[in-house]
Structure 1
Amino acid sequence: MAEIDKTPEGQVADAVTGNWVDMTAPEWSRPYLRLSRADRPIGTWLLMLPCWWGVLLAAAADPNGLRLFDLWIVLGCGIGAFLMRGAGCTWNDITDRNFDAAVARTRSRPIPSGQVSVTQALIWLVIQSLLAFAILLTFNLNAILLGLLALVPVVVYPFAKRFTWWPQVFLGLAFNWGVLLAWTAHSGQLGWPPVMLYLSGIAWTLFYDTIYAHQDTEDDALIGVKSTARLFGENSKIWLRGFLVISVLLLAVTIILALAPGGNLLAMILALAGAWGFGWHMVWQLTRLDTGDPDCCLRLFRTNRDTGLIVALFFAFAALV
């Protein structure tokens, strides 16, 4: 007897199995939620976690510690990350619809598969952006200005793969902007610690998104899409070790710059323990990485939620002591 295909209609190829979008969301909403990658939540985590790093380290460096409003920054950044990740992915899919149709992993996405038209996608993009802007308006003026400036790397990123072998840098610029915004939402101003933390996040993005890009190297070569995965090829693990070291070192320097002036030794030890765990989790990924196995690359890419959560957890401890 033939096996019954239980795959939900319209499911995207790399969606998380049994995700809530395909299983429980209203049918009319599924194409739009897929367009926002709600069925693949790792991107929301990777956009949200740098925000949490920023506000928690800012609180740890503040003699007054955590404030009640910081809880709203944490929550607002979570909601905002979901919305802006959705808006960014919608914009990405609009600009990349012809490329996506030519790649096995992405041709099932809503636009190339015909679930959503370009016009419908544009309307959905505007709705998500306006909701995110409403959250941004609850922060101070400097944070609002930084939030508006964040649109520049978001708009540029989808085109980067057309003109540079390093599109992951542009992704890093966009995905880690929340460090600067959330730090400023707490403190009202920038300084060297959030800038160094931002650079650490960019190096981390180069690490995890190079792993992610190895899923598509063959198709990308056929259609002329550039990536660090294609650029590094068989030398990818050497480069990934370099990104790992740079990210951890910058994170450690950030912690020292932020917390040394306050003289709270316990807070610094806790935060540095987070940097240590952050580095070892990436080392663990490298020991299991097979760049020729797309399933392995996707699985390890998704574990970077835990990599970033390690830092957020220890920064929270540092802010509370």
Structure 2
Amino acid sequence: MTKPAPAPDGQVADAEDRNWVDRYAPEGARPYLRLSRLDRPTPVLFLLLPCWWGLALAILHDQSVRFEDLWIAVGCAIGALLMRGAGCTWNDITDRNFDGQVERTRSRPIPAGQATVRGAVIWMCVQSVLAFGILLTFNTAAILLGVLALLPVAVYPFAKRFTWWPQVFLGLAFNWGALLAWTAHTGQLEAPAVVLYLAGIAWTLFYDTIYAHQDTEDDALIGVKSTARLFGTQTPQWLRRFLMATVGLMGIAVIFAAIDEANVLALVIALGGPWAMGWHMAWQLRGLDIDDPAKCLQLFRANRDTGVIPLVFFCAALLV
């Protein structure tokens, strides 16, 4: 029987298998790329997809496609990568003492001694400045929204210390792109974007509660709060509520966005997005085992597909 290949030196415990950082990145750069979670690139989509949802619904709303929209889409992608990296670096700086006490996180660069706090702060600032440069290419309203987004990003790492609902703060930060991309296209923040933002927060509560069930025992020992610990065995019932909130709010956002200018067929197709997304979330619930960390991680990662589903429908609606 062939033995599995040994893990690369310094690999973080929950890094994705055969990720490019551990295989190909220069050795000196690996701790900083790990701080940015680039060895786990999937969650970048959790920041990016709400941006693209917002942009697609904004185009559906005013039935106006401009060349600048291509840059908004690309700029959001680069910005999501950079801000996710900066946010994760900030999270590791603030949580460095907690991370060393949790089995899944003690191999992260700072508690593992691969990176210093000073180096992490510099790296966070570099990523933030680059992201701000991209933000400056958008309109004034979007720039102001982008700056305001720093507030939930800054607060999130501390939320688990004072509330049982830190996933709400994660949702506030991760789904901000729905507001920003809509505003970058239309020049103003409007109701459909706000409702879409709320739908994204409900989705975040769904997937991050599943994710948090990996650490409930360690979190209880060190006093870290989470919705996973709060809900306990009632988690499936709460996840169903988040599913219904996600689908319902996204459906309302679609109707608000499309009702004035889009034709009936486009509206129907766009409404298929939250409907299909809800079925994918229901599939996850059927396979959920909150006592199996590996299964929780698998379902968490499956949400990359969950978020892509409505985007496909929104884009299809733009073609009719």
TM-score where L is the length of structure 2: 0.98
Q: Which residue of 1 aligns with 2:157?
A: 158
Letter in 2 for 1:276: W
Q: Which residue of 2 aligns with 1:222?
A: 221
Q: Which residue of 2 aligns with 1:317?
A: 316
TM-aligned CA deviation for residue 5 of structure 1: 5.2
TM-score where L is the length of structure 1: 0.98
Q: Which residue of 2 aligns with 1:287?
A: 286
Contact 1:197 1:251 in 2 (8 A): yes
Contact 2:63 2:262 in 1 (8 A): no
Letter in 1 for 2:251: A
- Partner secondary structure for residue 320 of structure 1: coil
Contact 1:60 1:320 in 2 (8 A): no
Q: Which residue of 2 aligns with 1:266?
A: 265
TM-aligned CA deviation for residue 312 of structure 1: 1.1
TM-aligned CA deviation for residue 3 of structure 1: 5.3
Q: Which residue of 2 aligns with 1:42?
A: 42
- Per-residue displacement from partner, 1:35-82 (whole Å, max 9, x unpaired)? 000010122110100000000110111132x22111111111011000
Contact 1:100 1:109 in 2 (8 A): yes
Counterpart CA distance in 2 for 1:115 and 1:147 is 31
Q: Which residue of 1 aligns with 2:7?
A: 7
TM-aligned CA deviation for residue 2 of structure 1: 11
Q: Which residue of 1 aligns with 2:20?
A: 20
Counterpart CA distance in 2 for 1:42 and 1:165 is 26
Counterpart CA distance in 2 for 1:296 and 1:2 is 25
Q: Which residue of 2 aligns with 1:96?
A: 95
Counterpart CA distance in 1 for 2:14 and 2:4 is 20
Runs of 4+ aligned structure 1 residues displaced above 6 Å come to: none
Bigger CA drift: 23-32 or 150-159?
23-32
Q: Which residue of 1 aligns with 2:75?
A: 76
- Partner secondary structure for residue 43 of structure 2: helix
TM-aligned CA deviation for residue 282 of structure 1: 0.2
Counterpart CA distance in 2 for 1:2 and 1:308 is 37
Counterpart CA distance in 2 for 1:237 and 1:179 is 27
Contact 1:61 1:319 in 2 (8 A): no
- Per-residue displacement from partner, 1:113-152 (whole Å, max 9, x unpaired)? 0000000000000000000000000000000000000000
Listed as ranges, the matches of 1:53-202 within 5 Å are: 53-64=53-64, 66-202=65-201
Q: Give the share of equivalent positions with the same residue, in percent.
A: 67
Letter in 1 for 2:46: L
Q: What are the ranges of 5 or more consecutive residues in structure 1 without an aligned counterpart?
A: none
Letter in 2 for 1:77: C
Root-mean-square deviation (Å): 1.2
1:234 aligns with 2:243: no
- Partner secondary structure for residue 318 of structure 2: helix
Letter in 2 for 1:143: A
Counterpart CA distance in 2 for 1:4 and 1:298 is 21
